[in-house]
A and B are shown apart, each in its own frame.
Chain A
């Protein structure tokens, strides 16, 4: 069964009388454990696609089934629960809460979880250790380097053990060394069985994924298909 099933998704924004069609009839299925890159030039609709995929926005029309649940019609309460339990976000600009320690940033999703596990702090520590930040637990984002901040966001995305990791240009603000580190972390997560959707305009980064979907003008331009050998350089 597909984890993500998008059928004929359209999204348009209305702005002072103008209607801008951002996504046009996108149909996309992603299976459990897949590693997918979505590439395309800026303005192609990548971020909007990710927003819909991450339940941050509702499609104008079409059907979106996430983990067997039609999420296009859920109310705010249920949609928030889906975001909290099933999706982990990693952003280009990190989006950590300023002035708050790494440890507390990682536990943020637990604030809104249905039940906070008793060992929340312990789990956050483990995750930060996993990304190599055990010595930076009580540092605030301002005291961390870009690469370290990105590793905190990855730890944060994993705290609720979500099925899907949505990463929007995760290497965009990093130097090449940290970029490679981050991509290695994603590779490892796929091995652990996570589904990863990576949005990028960098074709080199996209190569890490087993499947590359190219978006152009709000439509799927090309799809390399599911059964493609990973880490090969052909496109």
Chain B
């Protein structure tokens, strides 16, 4: 077959023009390596976001109301002072609501003698445990009595417990938060790091009343978690909640909500949107890097053809058609980009692995870049090879044989 012979001649051409081959390979290699790394980082971030959301403790039958206008995790105003315990009580009175958990939140230093660590401290009600379904590793959870008497007691997550007590008995010991000592009454069961490095165990829980009087010195809530009787009731409950809160906060008809919802559905939508934005970015960056690789191939091929005018002339003298020359150079360009692609994927995977290994960025390695780069490289080779190949084929045999 004539075309296989052209392929053979292309392989020989690449071998004989090693310098140019290496340069062209390098161009594509860098493009594909960056594509591979970007895809790996993109997937890594996606997984991190998803697992973080999965760890927010959402069942399909629950949602959160966060104080402050805005959307999902992004507040338009900080420290909104509109949501109160009365709101929480009104919401609990709704017929479709099973549980409400009003919350305050503050990041604080927690100290045991010489050991200290910074953790998220939540003021919650005893229903928190029911809403989250989180078991105890040791001791007890906050009780109604603790709440009623604003007791200085604390339930520790596994991470601060380990940092403060180094595996020693902690129940009954005292830890310091700001200027007050709290008795450790329970330890939460350890959930462990998620794949992406989010630590759900990095938290401490105190009675909401204690938090109000001793930590935040205010009665406003950060959020209220609402658990409905059944997942199907979430939309209607949200609407009722909205009406109750708007009435309680005396919002006029034209005013925006001064609170926002986080729902499982809303999260899914948000994830989808972020994923789309991320993918668009990936496509853009990859296109640019591959375009650069392709242009490198085209330029070097054009230079290479100028160097090889005589060779082309010789081939034409002994019967090579224009199509033979076209195919030879097209094959060279495709082979080079495939080789560069292969090396790029290997380099990219090494970098992605390194980023993950040394905790620089979350990466996730999939089969995608292999397939993508194979397809892209063939395409690049064809698209950027066709111009030089045609140029070589249309050189006059008479002039090219005479060139020195």
Q: Which residues of A contact B (CB under 8 A)?
A: 47-48, 51, 54, 56-57, 76-77, 80-81, 83-85, 89, 91, 93, 95-100, 108-109, 111-113, 116, 156, 160
Contact = CB atoms under 8 A, between A and B. Distances in A.
The 3 closest A-B pairs by CB, nearest first: A84-B319, A112-B319, A109-B318
Nearest to B317: A89
B317 A54 contact: yes
A95 B312 CA distance: 11
Given A100-B12, A112-B324, A95 B401 contact: yes
A112 B397 contact: no
Contacts of A80: 316, 319-322, 324
Contacts of B5: 111-112, 116
Interface string B1-18: 010010011001000100
Nearest to A94: B314
B313 interface: yes
B233 to A, nearest CB: 77
Interface of B: 2, 5, 8-9, 12, 16, 310-311, 313-324, 396-398, 401-402, 404
Contact of B317 (A56, A76, A81, A85): A56
Nearest to A57: B398
A108 B317 CA distance: 10
A95 B313 contact: yes
Nearest to A156: B318
A76 B322 CA distance: 7
Contact of B401 (A56, A99, A113, A160): A56
Nearest to A166: B317
A56 B316 contact: yes
Looking at A56, A84, A95, A116, the one whose CB has the most chain B CB atoms below 10 A away is A56
B326 to A, nearest CB: 11
A76 B321 contact: yes
A108 B315 contact: yes
B397 A89 contact: no
Looking at A51, A80, A98, the one whose CB has the most chain B CB atoms below 10 A away is A80
A113 B12 CA distance: 18
A117 to B, nearest CB: 14
B21 to A, nearest CB: 13
